[in-house]
Structures are given as C-alpha cells and as structure tokens.
Amino acid sequence: MITAVVVMLSIGGLCGIILSVASKVFYVYEDPRIAEVEYFMSGANCGGCGYAGCSAAAVAVVEGKAAPSICIVGGSESAINIAGVMGLDPGTAEPLLSLNHCLGGDRADDKFDYAGVNSCKAADLLFGGKRECRVGCIGYGDCIRSCKFDAIDMGPDGFPVVNEITCVGCGACEQACPKNIITVRTMSQRLLHFNEEDDALAPCQQTCPAEIDIPRYIDHIRKGEYEAAVHTIKERNPLLLTCGRVCPHPCEDYCRRGIEDEPVSINQLKRFVADHEMNSGRRYPVPCAADTGRKVAIIGGGPAGLSCAYFLRRLGHSPTIFEAMPRLGGITRYGIPEYRLPDDVLDWECQGILDLGIECHLNTQLGEDFTFDSLMKEGYEAIFAGIGAWKDYTLNIPGEEFDGVWQGINFLSQVAGSPEKRIPVGNKVAVVGGGNSAIDCVRTLKRLGCEEVYILYRRTRNEMPANEVEIVAAEHEGIKFQFLAAPVRVVDDGNGKVAGIEYLQMELGEPDASGRRRPVPIEGSETIIELDMLISAISQQPDLSCLEREPEKDKIAITRWSTFDNDEETVHCSLPWLFTAGDAATGPSLVVDAIGGGRRAARSIHQFLTGEEIQGSPKSLRKKHIDGTIFKTVPGIVPKRRTPMPELEVAERITSMVEVDQVIAETDARYESGRCLQCCRLCYNPDAG
C-alpha cells in the first residue's frame, strides 16, 4: 500500500517537475492580451462564436480576426471590457434574442395520432409532424432541452416560450428546431430580412408590399402594448402615420376573416397606434446599430428616400437626404392633399426620422446643385435615387397649350406648397383621369370653392384604378363622374383661354393586355362640356432630365417608361453604386410599395458597403403568395362587425382642408384587434375557442 502511494506520487511528481521545467525551457512569448481577453469571456466554451472554445476566440480577437463583441454569452458587458483591453471601439454588440413565432393552439387538423414520439426532430421526420400545419411549432420542446441557459420554458399552452432576460442568443435552440420556428436574430438581421417561402407568414403579411408583421402588431394592440406595436411596424415601415392614412391596404383583401366575414380593419389599427404615439407627445425611442460612419447619399426625400435613409441609419450608416422641394415628404406632401394627410402629421413623422441622426439638405436639386458624380467625389460611397415620378403624361390632344389647362401633380403641388393651401381656381373644372391623383384633384377643387367639378374617365367605374374609398368619398362630395369619355380636343374662348373640352363617348370592347376591357369610341358622339379650367391627371413618369449632366449618363439603364432599370429583388441599377426604388423605379405606385423598395435598397446598400455580394434570397416572395396559404373557406368564424371609419360630415368637410378620416377610439381599436385571427401565429380560432 505504502509502496503504491510512494510510487504513484513519485511518478506524478516527476511528471510535474518535467512539465514545469519544460514550460520554462519551451516558453514561447504569447501576447499577454490573449489571457486578458479570455478573462472577460464567459468561459462557457459554448462555441456560439464559431471558434473552438474561448481561448481560440481570444486569439482571434487579439489577431484582429474577430470583433470584441464576439462573445455572445458575455454580451455587451464583455464586449466593452474586451474592447477596453484591445483599445478598440466595442462596435456593434447588438443583443441577439431568440423568438418563438408560433403561439400554439389546435386549429390545424392532425394528420395522424402517434404516441411514440417525444422529440420534434423525430416528429418532423415522420411526414413533418402530426399537424397539417407545415409552419407551426411541433411542441415537443427540442429547443428547451438544447438551451444551456434555461431561457426557454414550456408555456401553459404546451408551446415553448422564450424568456428574453435570460436568453443570450447562443443559437442552440435555432439549430435544435427542425422547423425554422425559433429564430435568433439581431435587430439588423431582422431589418434585413425579407419574406421568404418557408417563413410562417399570414396572408396579410405576404400581401403587404412593406412586409409588416401585421398579426404581431395587432396582437400587441390587443394586449394594450402600443409601444411594442409601433416598434413592430417600424421594423418594416417608418411612415406609419402616413400609411395609416393613405394606404389602400391591399393586406385587407387577403384577410382570412374577410373570407367569411368583413376583413379586419388593419390599416385603421396602424393609424390608431401611430396617432397614439404622436398624441402621447413622446417619441418612442428607435434603436440604431452602432455607427459605421459610411456615408450614403439619398436623393429625394419622398417615401422611398425616407424609408431607405431610415433603414440605413438603423443599420448604423450615415445617410444624407437631398431634397429638391422646400420640405420633406415628396409626393406624400405635394401630391396627397391636406385633407387626407395633414402637413403637421407629416412634419412630425419626418422629424422623427431625421432625429435618428440623418442629415438633410432641402432645396437642392439633382442636376443643378449637384450630380451623382459630385456626390461620389465628396465621399459618398453609394447613392440612392428616389426621385419619384413627377412628370405628368400629356393628353396628346390639340389645345393643351391653352391658358387654364393644368397638369395633375403640378396643380396638387401648387396647392400643397401654398401657405394657406389655397390657390385661385375656376368655377367649372374637369379633371381627366381615373387614378388617385385625379380623385385628389377633384376633391381638392371642391374644397377650393369650385361649383361644378367633373371627372372624365375613358372606362367605367369598375375599371378605375383609384381606391374604392376615395371614389365613394368623391361621390359623396358631389363630384360629377363622366365615364366612358375620351377627350378629343380642348376648346378655347378665342383668346387662348380654355372654354371647354370636347369628348367622344366610348363603349367597352375586348379586354386588352392589362385585362381591362378596351374602350372603343362611338361614332358621332362628340360632346362639349363648358369649362374655365381643365386638369389632366392621367399618369406620371419620372422626370429624368436631371441626369443630363452626368458623365456616366450613358451607363444608366432606363426603361421605355422612362424609369430606372433595376433588379427587382436587389433594386440595384446598372452602375455599381446606384440603387433606386419607389416611383422612379416602378412608375406611379403605392406609398407602401416605395417604403418596401426603400428597405430593399437599404439592404443592398448595406451589402455593398460591407463588401458582401449584393443579392437577395432565391426564396424571396416579393408579394407572391405561398402555395396553400390562401384559403377558400375558414370554418368556425362568428361574424363580428368591422369598426367603421369615423369621418367628417360632407357639409363640414368640403369647405375646408380639415382631415376627413378620423382615428378610431381606443375601445374600438381593442375590439377591432380582437377580430384578428392571428393567422400563422396562433393555431386556434379565437371565435370558436
């Protein structure tokens, strides 16, 4: 026994002595900072950083291969300490958070009943789990078992719930989940994500051009968490006050409640929380990633430019907006009349975006005060051109040069630009066109005191591209609609002033390329309407004369509609540093389209600045719908009346520019949010259960 102890001790002692001598003899100088850096790391050896253990990560930090924020377990505190050791800026230590998108429930049918499975991975291998729902949580809790930090628990409904305080964002749950339900993302990653085929997306979110997570913000409203609702919207759309007022809400057309009942009033709920923030007098703070100092020029302060600048700023870059007009807002200020979107609302919204740290130069016009070339020489690394579509198409009929013939955008922007929102107009006015600009023109004219306002459209009411609510409002306000009327010539009074318009009566023929029935003139049906003012508002295109002075003008690809030719997914133009979105790229379209395009541009510019390949995802949806998610019937829905839009009485509204549509009350908002079925989040029917 004693021999054994002595011998083992001597062997141990000998080994120890040899090793300690060896450590002196074979001493290799190692940067002392490695040990210091390692000290500040968690020591969990979790591998979440991508290196084999904490010491390997420490070596990488000291060698400059990794950022001080590399330790995800240590979090921002560790990043600051490590940055202190290295004498560096801590950089972007954005907190990673795990998020379970699925809230559970039993609405989806079961495919089979199999009692022997107890792990999600195994269940997934058996035909993707027992539920018909292919995007939802399986609920056996593989993520809970994978979490080393006890940050995920089985919630009361049998679905995992993440504790945001203890979650460190190590990503183990994301790897354990076989269904992409649980995701670990930084804010920047969330901002840069676009709808993809295998995401769990409600039909409304698939339809929204800005891809707002609609069920989530409605859920926040239902729970009274208005600040969280605003943040959810602002991760996709910085212009929520504007969109809450003017968006034609294509999302509501695909609302599943709308299949059996009236759709949820999604846009009014957006307006409600947006107004709630504005009326609270306090701006909810918007987090931005750490400064990168990279300069980007944003040409045009309209919805696309504001959206692009906003998202670039939140990603840490330094955008500067160049706006030709005296105030920001672009077409939302100068094209949308005061009674739909008041100036002070828009001012408040734009100021909130600028307050994030965005510079802005007003009254500076591309092609006159600067060119793309001069901006690049000033040190801007990329340029976003969101110049909008401000040139009206002409009617192409004789007499357009007469005094008193106006163009739509010109008219609306003159009204919007005048201090009292008033300019002298005629008494009998006709507007040619059937889009939203035409409706905006007629409703504005009515408010400016015109006695008779006509709208001339060459097809019928069914084919009018304007929003239905706008058409109805115009009808209420006493606008005279002249359908199936094609203008032939402008009549003058002999002194070069407009006196009337002659039009041909049409009838509908065969459908054309756009699917609308083509109007065919009826012979000999010429009619003259007496007028003292005529506005043509048939459509617009971008005014590209501002590019004349560009040295690389020939390299900028332009489409035959005189819009920038860009890649639909990346919005990247033919020059490597040029990106464009909004009406300048798509032709006249929705505000919300421009906002989505602005974010798309911000992603591409971010990729361009960080040296990544500019690319989208091959699974990107871009407003296409995921197969099998658009239902024909939704059983179990109990009809509940949709909250009506509160609006001013006609007599009250047509004498002033006061905002017509009013915000819904808080109780109505809570009721309306309760109508949402929480599609792709909550797998049970709130009506039935």
The minimum distance between CB 627 and other proteins, in angstroms, equals 21
The minimum distance between CB 176 and other proteins, in angstroms, equals 14
The alpha carbon of residue 331 and the mean position of all alpha carbons in its chain are separated, in whole angstroms, by 17
Expressed in percent and rounded to 5, the helix, strand and coil fractions of the chain are 35, 15, 50
The minimum distance between CB 28 and other proteins, in angstroms, equals 5
The minimum distance between CB 22 and other proteins, in angstroms, equals 5
Phi/psi at 587 (5° precision): 80, 175
User: In this complex, which beta carbon is closest to other proteins, that of residue 8 or of residue 423?
Assistant: 8
The minimum distance between CB 62 and other proteins, in angstroms, equals 17
The minimum distance between CB 618 and other proteins, in angstroms, equals 21
- The answer to whether 458 and 519 are in contact (CB under 8 A) is yes
User: In this complex, which beta carbon is closest to other proteins, that of residue 21 or of residue 665?
Assistant: 21
User: In this complex, which beta carbon is closest to other proteins, that of residue 52 or of residue 472?
Assistant: 52
User: In this complex, which beta carbon is closest to other proteins, that of residue 126 or of residue 522?
Assistant: 126
User: In this complex, which beta carbon is closest to other proteins, that of residue 12 or of residue 636?
Assistant: 12
Strands (E), 474-516: 480-482, 485-492, 498-511
Q: In whole angstroms, what is the distance from residue 354 CA to residue 356 CA? A: 5
The minimum distance between CB 124 and other proteins, in angstroms, equals 9
The alpha carbon of residue 48 and the mean position of all alpha carbons in its chain are separated, in whole angstroms, by 31
Tokens describing residue 320 = 């500067």
Strands (E), 310-358: 318-322
Please enumerate in sequence order all residues whose Cβ is within 8 A of that of 433, keeping only pairs 6 or more positions apart, or say none. 408, 441, 455, 456, 457, 536, 537, 538, 539
The minimum distance between CB 98 and other proteins, in angstroms, equals 24
User: In this complex, which beta carbon is closest to other proteins, that of residue 7 or of residue 688?
Assistant: 7
User: In this complex, which beta carbon is closest to other proteins, that of residue 22 or of residue 290?
Assistant: 22
Nearest CA-CA partner of 201 in 138, 133, 249, 291:
133
Could you give the count of Cα atoms lying within 13 Å of 4 in the half-sphere of its Cβ? Answer: 1
The minimum distance between CB 125 and other proteins, in angstroms, equals 5
Q: Angle formed by the axes of helices 32-40 and 53-62, to 10°?
A: 120
Q: In whole angstroms, what is the distance from residue 567 CA to residue 561 CA? A: 15
Q: In whole angstroms, what is the distance from residue 254 CA to residue 205 CA? A: 9
Q: In whole angstroms, what is the distance from residue 175 CA to residue 156 CA? A: 24
The minimum distance between CB 55 and other proteins, in angstroms, equals 11
Q: Map residue 453 onto helix, strand or coil.
A: strand
User: In this complex, which beta carbon is closest to other proteins, that of residue 124 or of residue 492?
Assistant: 124
The minimum distance between CB 178 and other proteins, in angstroms, equals 10
Residues in contact with other proteins by CB under 8 A are 3-4, 7-8, 11-12, 15-16, 18-19, 22-23, 25-28, 52, 125
User: In this complex, which beta carbon is closest to other proteins, that of residue 15 or of residue 528?
Assistant: 15
Positive or negative: CA dihedral 102, 104, 108, 109? positive
As a three-state string, the secondary structure of 169-238 is CCCHHHHHCCCCCEEEECHHHHHCCCCECCCCCCHHHHHCCCCCCHHHHHHHHHCCCHHHHHHHHHCCCC
User: In this complex, which beta carbon is closest to other proteins, that of residue 138 or of residue 289?
Assistant: 138
User: In this complex, which beta carbon is closest to other proteins, that of residue 128 or of residue 155?
Assistant: 128
Tokens describing residue 447 = 């408010």
- The answer to whether 523 and 490 are in contact (CB under 8 A) is no
Phi/psi at 325 (5° precision): -85, 170
User: In this complex, which beta carbon is closest to other proteins, that of residue 19 or of residue 651?
Assistant: 19
The minimum distance between CB 134 and other proteins, in angstroms, equals 15
User: In this complex, which beta carbon is closest to other proteins, that of residue 32 or of residue 285?
Assistant: 32
Residue 414 region, left (φ>0) first, then alpha (ψ -120 to 50), else beta? alpha
Q: Please report, as a single letter, which amino acid is at residue 334.
A: Y
Q: In whole angstroms, what is the distance from residue 676 CA to residue 679 CA? A: 8
The minimum distance between CB 43 and other proteins, in angstroms, equals 17
Nearest CA-CA partner of 129 in 108, 111, 146:
111
Q: Is 9 exposed, middle or buried (0-12, 13-18, 19+ CB in 10 A)?
A: exposed
User: In this complex, which beta carbon is closest to other proteins, that of residue 16 or of residue 398?
Assistant: 16
The alpha carbon of residue 78 and the mean position of all alpha carbons in its chain are separated, in whole angstroms, by 34
The minimum distance between CB 19 and other proteins, in angstroms, equals 6
